Structure 1
Amino acid sequence: MASKKSDITLYFLGASRAIRIAWLLEELSLPYELVSSPRAPNGLAPPEFKAEIPTELGKSPAIKDGNIVIQESAAIAEYICETYDTSGRFLPKDPAARAKVREWMSAAEGTFMIHGLAILYARWRLPEPAKEYLPEMEKGLSTNVHNDFDWLESELEGKEYLVGHDVTAADVLMGFGIEFIFARKLGTEGGDWPNVKKWLSRIQQREAYKRAVKKSGYSL
């Protein structure tokens, strides 16, 4: 539970990383205003929605808390934890546990998503004359995805959550990317990661996560 009052507005683009922030806010029972939009037919954020977001890039997720505006999932999550989670439940006070949580927060984008998106962007952007090379490209790029998921699988052995015995910001930041990579089949063919699948199902069954999904209309 949070110990301070918030004045948070969350800018939420459909089917996006913003579910991380909505979930964290729900876990902390923090009230927030949701400014949301579905994606345009081209899959991007509608221009009118981007214009509402008070950042230079107009990207989601972003939050406004009083006079403070923050973008980027990990930075937002860390700000929320530092400001409102004074018990250290989601960002532990113990230096070793805190470092492990931050490791996963960084890996969510810097390792897992970047390797999955490399495959997605190849599908989207490869010129038509080069499309015949796409299967071989995906096969090569999938090695990184398999290595990442093997690491996650081993870290989850005998554990319900990534760090400690309860959910932390590590799980919150990692969840979206793993769901996204599985849903889009980004290099996961031929892999079997039972611990990862159980963990993903476990976090998605949390009441706070389900509230965030219901409130935001999130779906991949």
Structure 2
Amino acid sequence: MSIFTDSMFFGVSITLFTYFIGVWVKSKLKLAIFNPLLISIILIILFLAGSGIPYENYSEGADIISYMITPATVCLALPMYDQMEALKKNAAGVVCGILSGCLTSALCILGCTLAFHFNHQIYITLLPKSITTAIGISLSEEMGGIATVTVLSIIITGIFGNMIAESFLKLIRVTDPVAKGIAIGTSAHVMGTAKAMELGETEGAMSSLSIAVAGVVTVVVAPLFAMIG
């Protein structure tokens, strides 16, 4: 057992196994709250805590999966290419939607900081919460934030967005596929995009585009907000 837990295959195996359990649970219960990623995280924490296996043993292999985040994000350009005509037709609305989404996210963090008296480091740590991890970690570190907390905030944002996106858009009566995709991708990055792709090809393509553009916009906007927080 110790040979296995000390190897790089341990982290990879546990991550994939718990995720597949999450997918199975979601397929059986059909409830948004049973997000596969959330279930996987909980199971991994419980397993490591219960077995006493050091986190370092797990991360040695799990980091391999983390390295796949960037190329996996790049692959999201494929559905965007297929929907290029829709993108050209709605270019102005797409840009305005993503820009307003990024500004709204930053304003919400600023508002929470003022309301709950977060210190400045926590404030700048949370500013990249709505962009993909690949960009968010680097941005947080450059601004002086805590990268691990940034990752946690990004994961929570993505899971929450994935869970409520469809219901919330129905509640506020957003029916346009382009608007749905932009809203989901800008607010909930890759995890939200997974939900957008379930809604339709156009939604998925626009959400994929939003990840890249929102990342670039946030790299500019976040440091500006960091100076006023």
State the TM-score, normalizing by the size of structure 1.
0.32
Which structure has more relative contact order (CA 8 Å, sep 6+)? It is 1
- The structure carrying a bigger helix percent of its residues is 2
- The structure carrying a bigger strand percent of its residues is 1
State the TM-score, normalizing by the size of structure 2.
0.31
